[in-house]
Chains A and B, each alone.
Chain A
Amino acid sequence: MADPVKLTIDGQAVQAAPGTLVINAAKEAGIPIPAFCYYDGLALQAACRMCLVEVEKTPKLQVACTLPVAEGMVVHTDSPAVQQARKGTLEFLLTNHPLDCPVCDKGGECELQDMVFRYGAGESRYREEKIHVDEKQWSPIVFYDAPRCILCYRCVRICGEGLGVSALGVGNRGAAAEIVPNGGDHLECDECGACIDICPVGALTSGTYRYKTRPWEMEHVGTICTHCSNGCKTTLGIRNGNIIRANNRDRSGINGEFLCIKGRYAFDFNEHPDRLTMPLVRQNGELKPVSWAIALATVAKKFLELRAKKGRFGVLGSTRTSNEENFVLQKFARRILNTNNIDHHRTGDLPALLDALSGRTDALATMGELYTAKAALVIDSDLAQEQPLIAFQLRANWRHHKAHVYVVSPGPVREDSYAETVRAGLGQEFEALETLREKLAKEPELTILFGAAIKGDAVRRLVAFGDSLGIPVKYVCLVDYSNSRGASDMGLLPDLAPGYEAVPEPGLNYDQILSDGALDAVWIVGTNPAARQPLAFSNTFVVVQDLFLTETARQADVVLPAASAYEKTGTVTSVTGEIQKLSRAAKTMGAKPDLDIFQLLAKEMREDLGTVKPESVFREISESVKGYNVSFPVIETGQAIPTYPINGRVAFRPEPELIRPAENTLFTSGTLGRYSEMLNSVLESPGALYRDPIRDTGIRVGSVTQETQTTAPVDKPQ
């Protein structure tokens, strides 16, 4: 590395790597230089002129956000000239600003407000008329108030550079310049709200949050988004126990800058009026609300009866419940119900990958590594639709580090715009890979991400292909749900116990449980298979634990109202293996966390599950599950720790036919999505055509064979 550059900032000796911008060198030294348009990771603008500093021997004030450090440079960030310039700039900014702070959503957390407070003049000399422009609604999510806009172009850049969507531009010129949407009067975009979060003022506001509260009335709870497998941290703003908004403005979490529409706005399912708040028990053919005591007693009695006469049980676990819950559920099934008939909706062939990689401890890529890897290869996944954070990471890696991205896909995907793409139908992937072999082998390293179409033997072939390149290769098996990885790691599998330990007598799998009409009891936790396939239950006692009265729950004998991920503590594991903590933010009266339900049911059955608290279960997991021996305090403080559940061969039963993608788009989220009014309103808004994945991406990966056009996206089940 080149020698550091020595300079002086406000009398302080500072060292910085060559090429460092003065604004960042100062920040490192603890000297803040105010700026609106400068934003880490986005293109330099030098537009707001707030960061002007005095540099000795330079006649004019210099723009700190574009000025690289130079040896011997002497910078003053707080001289009278600088103070005066900041005052002047802020005075200019406020000339046409409506100063409607009392009713502005941003009031209290507005960068303009803070800057004026800190650096501005006490009074305004502006006495002329202000130009009023009416506020515009561009989508159910995005509202734009031009007079509040300071034109820092952060929104334009995050949308174009960050997301690759480029739905925002600049219209008109001079004082009339304003941000304009790509649909003329509406937005055709991902509706991710990144533009709103990044806006330093109240120019962009969201349909979910506007005029709902003052920011200081909320408590903030950082937790993990429950909608997909990417494990984004989302900070929920809570007032009176209700979730008012979600964002990630502190940029913590593995997602840094990023959240998609679901992470920012689709929390509203949580307070949907259809949430179950009382247990239901079928009486005379109808589900009737009963107390928890009666419901649990009903289930316990039946389970004990059936167990006593060696009845056959089946258990389906959830891909959205916590690791602790999954761990306890499989323990319940195996120890109390004495069955290995346990499974979950598998969206990726993790056991096959772990088996193929056996003996290696460094072959699973983390979310962070997707931003630093020199090269990545994406096979059969429309990332922007299905794995939005991964799409963002790879794009950021390309734009910041010039990473090479390769795509093998049956239809157009967003990565095409910057990746080297080979079109190949499902089943043709390996022919396509051969055409890329030469280039891939020249990369210093590679991360391969593959979707549900690569399963069973194809996973082994893929790893063999990776081995044959002669370079270090890492893998990501693209599973779909928020704890798909955890469901698999925690042994919600008929053939594998937690940590992929083989069980002596594998049980029935997902399809077998659902199609075996002769089972005596089936317990379905947080999943809705009936929306996907018929349930062949005849004399079966069916218990369903869920948030809503789903198609599956309607066929149950007992329905237990469960808490959502936002209503519980515990941990989940992301698609890339990071374990992170769920924090309880809200509460729905009557619903209980699944973990509590397991414990109550065990007690009712006079069985001992040990201390069933999230922390104690986590300790048990970390002691017994391979790869999960991680520090609890680190997770407790909101950090992510990668898990590597790899240790030798995996004696699994290959069942590739059970690997089925979730088929969610950016705007659907299985059952949860159906109860999100925000997601549904976006799908019905003027830009909806954009949100039709058929138009957007051509053939959807994994759905080409049968379901391409049959199911409306809103109705995709979990």
Chain B
Amino acid sequence: MIYNEPSPLETKIISQRWTMENSAAIDTYLATDGYVAIRKALEMTPEAIIEELKASSLRGRGGAGFPTGLKWSFVPRNSGKPSYIICNSDESEPGTCKDRLLMENDPHQMIEGMLIAGWTIKSNKGYVFIRGEYRYLIPIVDKAIAEAYERGYLGKNILGSGWDFDLYTHTGAGAYECGEESALLESLEGKRGIPRLKPPFPAVVGAFQCPTILNNCETFSAVPVILRNGGAWFAGLGTPKNGGTRLLCISGHINNPGVYELPLGFPFEQLLNEVCGGMRNGKKLKAVIPGGSSAPVLTAEEVQGLLLDYDSIAKLKSMAGSGGIVILDEDTDIVAVALRTIKFYAHESCGWCIPCREGTTWLKKILTRFHAGFGQQSDIELIGELANNMLGRTFCALGDAAAMPTTGFITKFRSEFEAYLAKNHLTLEDTTPELVAIEAH
């Protein structure tokens, strides 16, 4: 099922089946080039498959944007240990809701991508790690897996190759941190989702301490079409080093929010005005969060002329991240958004390291007080300094993910924070703990 009308401006490649009847069924998939790529892959060497991926310039769609072909090339293929294929469907970055659609509407495409990865490193087992909140998808993916077993795409001696591959679903139970790949692996092993020390990286010591290919659901979903049509073809859809299309999840103050598949390098203005039907209620654009809540906010001025690809957004010191784009109009209370953002990271901090655990909590408390009308001028500096004390110093990227947007809000919209001070009806001295506590909840 899809939840918004597609746009005619989309380049429907990995979302091409979403609007078909019974799109998740294996027959639909088979009727639309499904499981053609794995047949092709079975005739290819691992090196050739990896070369094709490199040529496609496919980059990880989970958030970090690491080149997929390169990632696969790091996995030792003769370690003597078993190896694993893990699909990160723990989609949790605020602003992101695409993997959900991929699994709901086209699970076989993801399965085929994982199969190709499995063949590449001669792995015999894979897991689809699905966030607990997507519990309803488990029967859907389980059904697709069962169908694939029935038709010989999973199980023993796949398509007569002599190679076996088993695939299972595995559920999370509510933890943003498990989207971090090593925390996900800990969770898969039945533990608290605390990230692991790196190196070694999961490519070498991953699931169950074995070599592992771990990619985002959308990344795997893009693999079959790349093998079918060639890496160069896929790369040609996007901009240099930013190959192909990706699913952008647009939310916020626009007329047609939704998930749209667009080529990398798609112009922001066209997305806003043509794909999404422009600003809601004719309001003016104030800010854009370009890649999920971890991405530092961009002002309306900054996004002028912006092309939506990894490198262009990185140039603005933000990131394309998970493809979640939040559009904020002129009426948006940036302080409230900053507060809600840090509340999220404080809630999701695993607590392992001091700067993240204490930093997110402290920032949450200050912003709560600030938002409640008890802010002080010095708080503005303090927020920035605390974010700096987290940045680059935490165990994993969650600390950065909390610090970067906070810094973004406070520097780019400082005037809004100062305006809050002007509105203050009370001073800190009037604060009672009860008042702050009420607001904190």
B393–A89 CB distance below 8 A: yes
Whether B354 sits at the interface, judged by CB under 8 Å, is: yes
Which residues of B, 330-387, contact A by the 8 Å Cβ criterion?
A: 346-355, 357-362, 365-366, 369, 382, 386
User: A179 to chain B: closest CB distance in Å?
Assistant: 11
CA distance A60 to B395 in the complex (A): 12
Which residues of A, 31-48, contact B by the 8 Å Cβ criterion?
A: 44, 46-48
Whether B197 sits at the interface, judged by CB under 8 Å, is: yes
A92–B355 CB distance below 8 A: yes
Whether A1 sits at the interface, judged by CB under 8 Å, is: no
B358–A173 CB distance below 8 A: no
CA distance A66 to B198 in the complex (A): 9
Q: Which of these binds chain B: A125-133, A359-367, A390-398, A647-655? A: A125-133
B437–A46 CB distance below 8 A: no
Task: Using known A-B contacts A46-B197, A129-B433, A175-B346, determine if residue A95 contacts B351 with beta carbons closer than 8 Å.
Answer: no
Q: Tell which of A60, A128, A174 touches B436, judged by Cβ atoms closer than 8 Å.
A: A128
* Residues of B close to A125: CB separation below 8 A: 382
Q: Tell which of A49, A59, A170 touches B355, judged by Cβ atoms closer than 8 Å.
A: A49
* Residues of A close to B366: CB separation below 8 A: 128
B392–A170 CB distance below 8 A: no
Q: Tell which of B348, B388, B394, B428 touches A174, judged by Cβ atoms closer than 8 Å.
A: B348
Residue-by-residue, is A136-152 near B (CB-CB < 8 Å gives 1, otherwise 0)?
00000000000000110
* Residues of A close to B358: CB separation below 8 A: 92-93, 95-96, 175
Task: Using known A-B contacts A92-B358, A95-B362, determine if residue A61 contacts B392 with beta carbons closer than 8 Å.
Answer: yes
B357–A128 CB distance below 8 A: no
B353–A48 CB distance below 8 A: yes
Whether A91 sits at the interface, judged by CB under 8 Å, is: yes
* Residues of B close to A151: CB separation below 8 A: 351-352, 354, 357
Task: Using known A-B contacts A128-B366, A129-B436, determine if residue A47 contacts B354 with beta carbons closer than 8 Å.
Answer: yes
User: A47 to chain B: closest CB distance in Å?
Assistant: 5
CA distance A227 to B360 in the complex (A): 49
Q: Tell which of A60, A95, A150 touches B361, judged by Cβ atoms closer than 8 Å.
A: A95
From A60, A126, A175, residue with most partner B Cβ within 10 Å: A175
* Residues of A close to B39: CB separation below 8 A: none
Whether B389 sits at the interface, judged by CB under 8 Å, is: yes
A46–B436 CB distance below 8 A: no
User: A544 to chain B: closest CB distance in Å?
Assistant: 57
CA distance A609 to B394 in the complex (A): 69
* Residues of A close to B428: CB separation below 8 A: 127
A85–B393 CB distance below 8 A: yes
User: B353 to chain A: closest CB distance in Å?
Assistant: 5
CA distance A555 to B118 in the complex (A): 80
* Residues of A close to B350: CB separation below 8 A: 173-174, 177
Task: Using known A-B contacts A92-B389, A127-B428, A128-B365, determine if residue A48 contacts B436 with beta carbons closer than 8 Å.
Answer: no
CA distance A173 to B178 in the complex (A): 13
Considering the complex, give the chain B residue whose CB is closest to the CB of A176: B351
A to B contact number (C-beta, < 8 Å): 95
Which residues of A, 240-254, contact B by the 8 Å Cβ criterion?
A: none
Whether B241 sits at the interface, judged by CB under 8 Å, is: no
Considering the complex, give the chain B residue whose CB is closest to the CB of A126: B362
* Residues of B close to A174: CB separation below 8 A: 346-351, 357, 360-361
Considering the complex, give the chain B residue whose CB is closest to the CB of A128: B365
User: A438 to chain B: closest CB distance in Å?
Assistant: 25
B349–A92 CB distance below 8 A: no
Whether B192 sits at the interface, judged by CB under 8 Å, is: yes
B355–A175 CB distance below 8 A: no
Interface residues on B, range: 20 to 34
A175–B395 CB distance below 8 A: no
* Residues of A close to B394: CB separation below 8 A: 49
* Residues of B close to A66: CB separation below 8 A: 197
B355–A172 CB distance below 8 A: no
CA distance A318 to B357 in the complex (A): 56
Considering the complex, give the chain B residue whose CB is closest to the CB of A52: B393
User: A37 to chain B: closest CB distance in Å?
Assistant: 9
Which residues of B, 7-23, contact A by the 8 Å Cβ criterion?
A: none
User: B147 to chain A: closest CB distance in Å?
Assistant: 37
Considering the complex, give the chain A residue whose CB is closest to the CB of B175: A173
CA distance A128 to B364 in the complex (A): 10
Considering the complex, give the chain B residue whose CB is closest to the CB of A175: B361
CA distance A126 to B394 in the complex (A): 20
Which residues of A, 44-77, contact B by the 8 Å Cβ criterion?
A: 44, 46-50, 52, 59-61, 66
* Residues of A close to B197: CB separation below 8 A: 44, 46, 66
* Residues of A close to B360: CB separation below 8 A: 174-175
A47–B437 CB distance below 8 A: no
* Residues of A close to B433: CB separation below 8 A: 129
CA distance A88 to B363 in the complex (A): 13
A129–B351 CB distance below 8 A: no
CA distance A72 to B233 in the complex (A): 45
Considering the complex, give the chain B residue whose CB is closest to the CB of A43: B197
* Residues of A close to B386: CB separation below 8 A: 88
Q: Tell which of A44, A49, A129 touches B393, judged by Cβ atoms closer than 8 Å.
A: A49
B354–A173 CB distance below 8 A: no
User: B358 to chain A: closest CB distance in Å?
Assistant: 4
User: A93 to chain B: closest CB distance in Å?
Assistant: 6
CA distance A96 to B362 in the complex (A): 9
User: A111 to chain B: closest CB distance in Å?
Assistant: 14
Task: Using known A-B contacts A95-B362, A174-B361, determine if residue A88 contacts B351 with beta carbons closer than 8 Å.
Answer: no
* Residues of B close to A176: CB separation below 8 A: 351
User: A323 to chain B: closest CB distance in Å?
Assistant: 48
* Residues of B close to A52: CB separation below 8 A: 393
CA distance A441 to B351 in the complex (A): 48
A88–B389 CB distance below 8 A: yes
Q: Tell which of A49, A59, A128, A129 touches B354, judged by Cβ atoms closer than 8 Å.
A: A49
* Residues of A close to B175: CB separation below 8 A: 173
User: A170 to chain B: closest CB distance in Å?
Assistant: 7
CA distance A48 to B369 in the complex (A): 27
Residue-by-residue, is A408-434 near B (CB-CB < 8 Å gives 1, otherwise 0)?
000000000000000000000000000
User: B103 to chain A: closest CB distance in Å?
Assistant: 26
* Residues of B close to A85: CB separation below 8 A: 389, 393
A61–B365 CB distance below 8 A: no
User: B325 to chain A: closest CB distance in Å?
Assistant: 27
Which residues of B, 176-196, contact A by the 8 Å Cβ criterion?
A: 192
* Residues of B close to A91: CB separation below 8 A: 389
CA distance A172 to B348 in the complex (A): 11
From A49, A61, A174, residue with most partner B Cβ within 10 Å: A174
A173–B392 CB distance below 8 A: no
Considering the complex, give the chain A residue whose CB is closest to the CB of B392: A60
* Residues of B close to A44: CB separation below 8 A: 197
Task: Using known A-B contacts A47-B395, A129-B436, A173-B192, determine if residue A93 contacts B362 with beta carbons closer than 8 Å.
Answer: no
CA distance A120 to B422 in the complex (A): 34
* Residues of A close to B359: CB separation below 8 A: 92
A128–B362 CB distance below 8 A: yes
* Residues of A close to B357: CB separation below 8 A: 92, 151, 174-175, 177
* Residues of A close to B437: CB separation below 8 A: 129
* Residues of A close to B351: CB separation below 8 A: 151, 170, 172-177
* Residues of B close to A92: CB separation below 8 A: 354-355, 357-359, 362, 389
Which residues of A, 687-706, contact B by the 8 Å Cβ criterion?
A: none
Which residues of A, 539-561, contact B by the 8 Å Cβ criterion?
A: none
A47–B355 CB distance below 8 A: no
CA distance A125 to B175 in the complex (A): 31
Q: A residues touching B (Cβ–Cβ < 8 Å)?
A: 44, 46-50, 52, 59-61, 66, 85, 88-89, 91-93, 95-96, 125-129, 150-151, 170, 172-177
CB-CB nearest 6 A-B residue pairs: A177-B351, A88-B389, A92-B358, A128-B365, A175-B361, A174-B349
A selection of 7 A-B contacts at a CB cut-off of 8 Å is A52-B393, A129-B365, A150-B354, A151-B354, A170-B351, A175-B358, A175-B360
Q: B residues touching A (Cβ–Cβ < 8 Å)?
A: 175, 192, 197, 346-355, 357-362, 365-366, 369, 382, 386, 388-389, 392-395, 428, 433, 436-437
Known: A50-B354, A88-B389, A174-B361; 5 extra A-B contacts, CB below 8 A, are A44-B197, A125-B382, A128-B365, A173-B192, A177-B351
